[in-house]
Structure formats: structure tokens, C-alpha cells
């Protein structure tokens, strides 16, 4: 049968749902503790400086020298329950608490290839995050306060 746009569209290779992403904020009081934040989006960048070095005595070789990695996380949240917001900023805002905190996010996809339950996706853990920037905004249309938080972190692990 011919596609109505006369295109060779191939077949569906596989399908999955991406509706099982879970964030866990470890505040040092218990692994995987849930803090009731209404996280709308998150952006994570983890970089390492890499310098290309040359040897004046040897023009045939170059060398990569890696520096120490650094991470930054941007998070947008809806201002929610006071106790949860206070707990988040008290724990993650104090640099002295950084060694005891992490943020992990795990994902599992629905619709595995056998038609059954979920399939595990990639999971990551942000190690020792601390808040470096805070901002907020509100719109007259809905009066919802959106918080924008930037966190600096020590390392990023695949779990």
C-alpha cells in the first residue's frame, strides 16, 4: 500500500513510554528520601577541561591533558509546600552539607519488546550538589511562583 505522501516510511522498530522518571533527593537523613518538590525541568552539564599539549622537542606527537571535572545543574520548580521547600534549601543551600547529599534520577520505560512491563533506562546520581544561584518568577495569568535554582556538584555517576 502506498503512503498518502508517497514516502517510503519504513516500519516501526520499537515503541516505549517515557513516563516513569523519578527524582530522589538524598538529604543525608535516608537514601532515596522524597522531598515534595514540583520539579518542572532539569538540565545537567558535567564537563572536564581537556588541553591539547605539544612538545617543542617532538613535533610528531600531541598529548591530551585532562583537568578536574565540574558539574552544574539547573532546575525549575513550582513553589510548593513550605516544609519541603525549606528542607530543600536548608540541606542543599548550605555548603557544609554537600558531602552528605546527592540527587538521583532513575527512569524505566514502559512497553518492553515482549509487550510486558517496564524496561530499565539509564540512571544517574549527582554527587554533592550545593545551590549556587536562586531566582524566582511569577506571572499574573496563573500566580504560580516558579523557582529557578542552579547547583554546582562534585561528580556525576551512572548507577
What are the residue ranges spanned by the domains of the chain? 22-158
- pLDDT reported for residue 80: 80
C-alpha cell of residue 154: 562534585
**Length of the chain, please?**
159
- pLDDT reported for residue 107: 74
- pLDDT reported for residue 30: 56
Q: Kindly tell me if the per-residue pLDDT of 128 is higher than 90.
A: yes
Q: pTM for the full model?
A: 0.77
pLDDT in tens, 30-65: 555 667 788 899 999 999 999 999 999 998 999 999
- Say which range, 73-87, 113-127, 143-157, has the weakest mean pLDDT: 113-127
Q: Look at 8 and 124; give whichever has higher pLDDT.
A: 124
C-alpha cell of residue 149: 535554582
* Percent above pLDDT 70 for the chain: 81
What DSSP character marks residue 87? Answer: H
- pLDDT reported for residue 2: 72
SS3 per residue for 44-108: EEEECCEEEEEECCEEEEEEEEECCCEEEEEEEEECCCHHHHHHHHHHHHCHHHHHHCEEEEECE
Q: Look at 37 and 13; give whichever has higher pLDDT.
A: 37
Q: Kindly tell me if the per-residue pLDDT of 26 is higher than 80.
A: no
Domain boundaries 22-158, corresponding CATH code:
2.40.30.200
Residue pair 84/77 in contact (Cβ under 8 Å)? The answer is: no
Residues 104-128 have a mean pLDDT of 72
- pLDDT reported for residue 97: 92
Q: Kindly tell me if the per-residue pLDDT of 8 is higher than 60.
A: yes
Alpha-carbon distance of 155 to 158, in angstroms, equals: 10
Compute φ and ψ for 54, nearest 5 degrees: -120, 155
- Residue with C-alpha cell 552539607? 97
Amino acid at each position: 500500500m502506498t503512503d498518502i505522501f508517497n514516502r517510503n516510511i519504513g516500519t516501526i522498530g520499537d515503541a516505549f513510554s517515557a513516563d516513569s522518571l523519578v527524582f530522589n533527593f538524598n538529604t543525608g537523613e535516608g537514601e532515596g528520601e522524597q522531598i515534595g518538590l514540583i520539579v518542572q525541568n532539569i538540565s545537567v552539564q558535567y564537563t572536564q577541561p581537556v588541553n591539547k599539549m605539544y612538545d617543542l622537542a617532538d613535533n610528531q606527537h600531541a598529548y591530551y591533558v585532562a583537568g578536574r571535572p565540574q558539574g552544574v545543574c539547573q532546575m525549575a520548580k513550582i513553589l510548593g509546600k513550605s516544609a519541603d521547600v525549606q528542607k530543600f534549601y536548608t540541606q542543599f543551600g548550605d555548603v557544609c552539607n554537600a558531602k552528605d547529599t546527592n540527587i538521583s534520577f532513575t527512569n524505566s520505560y514502559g512497553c518492553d519488546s515482549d509487550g510486558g512491563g517496564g524496561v530499565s533506562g539509564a540512571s544517574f546520581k549527582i554527587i554533592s550538589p550545593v545551590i549556587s544561584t536562586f531566582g524566582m518568577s511569577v506571572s499574573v495569568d496563573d500566580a504560580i511562583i516558579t523557582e529557578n535554582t542552579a547547583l554546582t556538584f562534585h561528580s556525576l555517576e551512572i548507577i
